Amino acid sequence: MTNQIEIPHDLQNFLETLDKSYCSTIARIALFDASQTSKWTFEQKRVFAGIFYHLRGHFIDFMWYLANFCNDEKIKSIVMENIGEELGVDGKFSHEELYGRFAQECGIDIKDEIINETHNADFAKQFNKEHLKWLNKHTVSQQLALFAAYERLDNIDYPRLYEFAKTLDVSEHALTFFRVHIYVEHFDSTLDKLLPIWQNSPNDVKEAFEFIYGHQLKMWQQLSDTIFAVPQLEAIA
């Protein structure tokens, strides 16, 4: 259901400007260039599936940290709803299971990856750790703003990830994980908490959003560089 909370013009302008800059930058990253990813080798697909599991799979640590140390019932409720979707309540498949379909077609056993973290690259570990370090160093209001920023980026990233995944020549069955994320709208549920923060301290919101957007772009570039280096590694071997 669409949230009916009206976003102030100054906040709307800030978000739209940030979104536009983010989209412009991500469009220049090879990972999102279908003409290049459609030529990936099986090994490139395998390495991507392994690393990307850790880039998205450890968001549970982010939510766990936030929910445990934030004494806000609304945020705890949003986090629990998010976790419920991840687990596949009401008889749905969990997101781990859905990602497992994609990973399997790319040559990755997701349960083995969870246990052994074979493809948890150093940059992926640092990416996830920096989220927690940021949360630890900032106020509750800033943490809530960071969570809202993370949720907003999902709505930007997953349509692109779905289009990217379609270039990898996997089945519709394997694409389900990416497809379902296109329709998730968690950002709107954070607005009633985000707006008072914006009114009282817009810089807190700006700092949180700018960190998440910049951090995410850096990660996409590192992931892209890593995968496109795989053929060179194969040639050397």
Quick check: 31 and 220 in contact, CB under 8 A?
A: yes
Q: What are the residues whose beta carbons fall under 8 Å from the beta carbon of 9, sequence distance 6 or more? A: none
Q: What are the residues whose beta carbons fall under 8 Å from the beta carbon of 181, sequence distance 6 or more? A: 154, 158, 161, 162
For every one of its 237 residues, what pLDDT tens digit does the chain have, with 9 covering 90 and above?
444 678 889 999 999 999 999 999 999 999 999 999 999 999 999 999 999 999 988 888 888 888 888 877 877 887 887 777 777 666 577 888 999 999 999 999 999 999 999 999 999 999 999 999 999 999 888 999 999 999 899 899 999 999 999 999 999 999 999 998 887 676 877 888 899 999 999 999 999 999 999 999 999 999 999 999 997 544 433
pLDDT at residue 23, as a whole number: 97
Domains of the chain: 9-23+40-236 (1.20.910.10)
